[in-house]
Amino acid sequence: MRNIKPVTVSLKQLHEGLDDSTLQEAFGPDSLGIIVIKDLPAEYPKLRETVLTNSSKLANLPSEVLSQLEKEDAFWLIGWSRGKEKLKNDKYDYNKGSFYLNCSFHVDDSLECPPPTTSSDKTGDFSSYKGYISENVYPPEDLVPGFKDQIKKLINLIITIGESVAVNCDRYIKETVDTEYPEGYLARIVSTSYSSKARLLHYYPAQETTDDDDWCGEHVDHSCLTGLTSALYSDSQNDGDDGGLFIKSRNGEIVKVDIPPDCLAFQSGSTLEEVSKGGFKAVPHYVKSSPSRRDVSRNTLAVFMQPNLHEMVNDKENFAQYSNRILKKNH
């Protein structure tokens, strides 16, 4: 196992356009499938710290409050959940708590879920996909002040930067991977989809275990593109230690990836792998607690930029069908 620094570029470089060699190094066949963006807007560091600190406040609310934020009929893809997701050993995962939001507000600030017109489309009726069409819920303002406003600001910032990542990826895929790739596909998805999701995560201090992926089992995201903040640990003097985010490289090597606190990372998911016909591979990754610091908790935010429910991701499945198949394996 090695600690390798992923490809890092400035936001200015991203906006000006990345060259093929940089994109190849970040997302090509021999890459980690992840790129780190530095020199972010001035408000980012404080916004990240506030939102990730709120994750701890949320996770430690009384159980009777958290239960009001659970949405079983939405497959726990809205609001709070803990112990609803299965790990590879078929046991339910109590090591982390999740708070999910629909990101429709990025397209229209008045929305907390996709508009009714996207719940029923010519390709099918999506009214049963409660995880994607249900309205967001939020913790009481008096218990976690500013939670709703701050997390929405951070998500909007991440998706906006993700749009620039997507523009670069689209050009690279079209020119070097698949000439039949739909023009501007990823940029359109990131900027206009009502079905993108955000997941605020709190990893509780870990119990003794022999599992390498005790905080989050190895998986690939089923998004097109995932935006990630760096983690905020409860002990700032021991940020990650020998734990943290681990990626399985294209050649099967396990690599520890550290995202600086003032940066954002973006990695490719399985929907983009489907659409690009394997040109962009999804990134297998897991999260491991620090064996030497079992008393440390960890917070982070992931934003999954993905298609609207009716959009086809392969020859047989639209995104609703595709995501539903994956979710049933994990719950």
For residue 10 the two structure tokens come to 């400035």
Sign, Cα dihedral of 282, 74, 47, 188: positive
For 12-52, what is each residue's pLDDT tens digit? 999 999 999 999 888 887 788 899 999 999 999 999 999 99
pLDDT digits (tens, 9 = 90+) for 68-88: 999 999 989 999 999 887 766
Residue 206 has pLDDT above 80, yes or no: no
* Prediction pTM value: 0.90
> 130, exposed or middle or buried, with CB in 10 Å at 0-12, 13-18, 19+?
middle
HSE, side-chain direction, 13 A CA sphere, residue 112: 11
| CATH number among 3.10.560.10, 3.40.50.300, 2.60.120.330, 3.30.420.10, domain 2-330 | 2.60.120.330
Q: Which residues pair with 35 in a beta bridge?
A: 7, 266
Residues in the chain: 331
Banded pLDDT at 313 (limits 50, 70, 90): confident
pLDDT level of residue 275 (50, 70, 90 thresholds): confident
Query: Quick one: which of 203, 166, 163 has its CA closest to 181?
Result: 166
Q: Find out whether 159 and 190 touch, Cβ atoms under 8 Å.
A: yes
| Dihedral class, residue 141 (left if φ above 0, else alpha if ψ from -120 to 50, else beta) | alpha
Angle at 179 (CA atoms; ends 174, 184), nearest 5 degrees? 40
Element (H, E) at 131: helix 130-133
Report the alpha-carbon distance of residue 269 to residue 275 in Å, rounded.
10
